[in-house]
Amino acid sequence: MNAHTSKYKCTECGKCFASKQMLTQHRRIHSGEKPFECTVCNKRFITSRSLVVHSRIHSGEKPYKCHECDKAFRQPSQLNTHMKGHTGERTYKCSLCNKSFIYLSGLHKHKHRIHSNSRPYQCPYCGKLFVENSELKQHIRIHTFAKPYPCSQCSDHFRWRHQLKTHLLRSHNEGTWLACHICQKKFTDSGPLKVHILRHEGVKPYVCSECPKSFCTAGELRSHSLSHSDVKHFCCGACGKYFRYKHNVIIHFNKYCEKS
């Protein structure tokens, strides 16, 4: 750090800043001072910039737009994170196995699922354990039949966000389709489109350790690996019946349990 950047030093934590204004803002972290108040919900903030970003929640303003899929965001950091999904840039690497991830949340989930046996969140209906509370909340919808995603154009409700997104595109022409440049097949999300293009190109980077088969995605490999085992991992949350494959649980649930 040079003489200019070390000119303004916080007496509380020793952190240095390039300007007196930056130091003043930083000191509010220690003092708890939040001089900027939202006129809508009265939430307070340390800086005026934080208030501006927050106010977009109420106004719906999303000035940072992705040039690939037209999705918009409230702040540039959200756009930068989103763009990694298009570029495939994997910034976050697991220190235990060197596997890399596009999003920090993906790295956290990987560490919990692969390198930790901790599953602190338990379903009150069937006792199934989960790594994260968000996974538990999604699972509970199977028991409660909740459909928390309403369509803004009609009376339909959906259990999953991607179902609503697909419905809006197909039924109301709201949103932007993503088209395959090879066959023009349309998709609602970039993830399935990327896998689809891999199939065109014949790219199968995930190879089974038990046989010569290879797959486009890690999920397909995990599903295939179950064929080498007699263990039935997937349980119907409604009736408790176990299945070897996840898609068999979904078929079973939709056919026998959802309307019961």
Residue 1 has pLDDT above 60, yes or no: no
Residues β-bridged to residue 121: 130
Would the pTM count as exceeding 0.85? no
Across the strands, what pairs with 259? none
Cα-atom radius of gyration of the chain, to the nearest Å?
24
Beta strands 64-65 and 8-9, pairing class: unpaired
Which two structure tokens, joined as six digits, stand for 160? 């999953």
pLDDT of residue 96: 78
Domains 8-58 and 206-257 fall in the same CATH topology: yes
- First-to-final CA distance of the chain: 67
Q: What is the pLDDT of residue 258?
A: 64
Round to whole Å and give the CA distance between 75 and 61: 10
- Contact (CB, 8 A) for 164 and 149: yes
Are 252 and 243 in contact, with CB atoms under 8 Å apart? yes
Q: 206, 221 in Cβ contact below 8 A?
A: yes
Q: Using pLDDT thresholds of 50, 70 and 90, give the confidence band for residue 155.
A: very high
pLDDT band at residue 210 under the 50/70/90 scheme:
confident
- What are the extents of the domains in the chain? 8-58, 206-257
Tens-place pLDDT, residues 26-75? 888 888 888 889 888 888 888 888 888 888 888 888 898 888 777 888 88
Lowest-confidence segment of 140-154, 165-179, 220-234 by average pLDDT? 220-234
Q: What is the pLDDT of residues 82-109, one digit of tens each?
A: 887 777 777 888 887 777 777 787 788 7
What is the DSSP pairing of strand 149-150 with strand 214-215?
Answer: unpaired
Which residue has better confidence, 4 or 45? Answer: 45
Tell me what the mean pLDDT of segment 147-162 comes to.
Answer: 89
Closest by CA position to 249, among listed 219, 237, 6 = 237
Closest CA to 175 of 160, 157, 162, 158: 162
The pLDDT of 184-201, averaged and rounded, is 87
The CATH number of domain 206-257 is 3.30.160.60: yes
In tens, the pLDDT along 221-251 reads: 877 887 787 767 677 777 878 887 777 888 8
User: Does the pLDDT value for residue 169 go beyond 80?
Assistant: yes
pLDDT mean across residues, the chain: 82
- Residue 125's pLDDT band (cuts 50, 70, 90): confident
Q: Looking at the predicted structure, is the pLDDT value of residue 3 above 50?
A: no
Asked if the model's pLDDT at residue 183 lies above 90, the reply is yes
| pLDDT for the residue 157 | 92
| Cα 63 to chain centroid, rounded | 21
Residue 162: its pLDDT value, please? 84
Using CA atoms, how far apart are residues 58 and 254, in angstroms rounded to an integer?
A: 38
Architecture in CATH for domain 8-58: 2-Layer Sandwich (3.30)
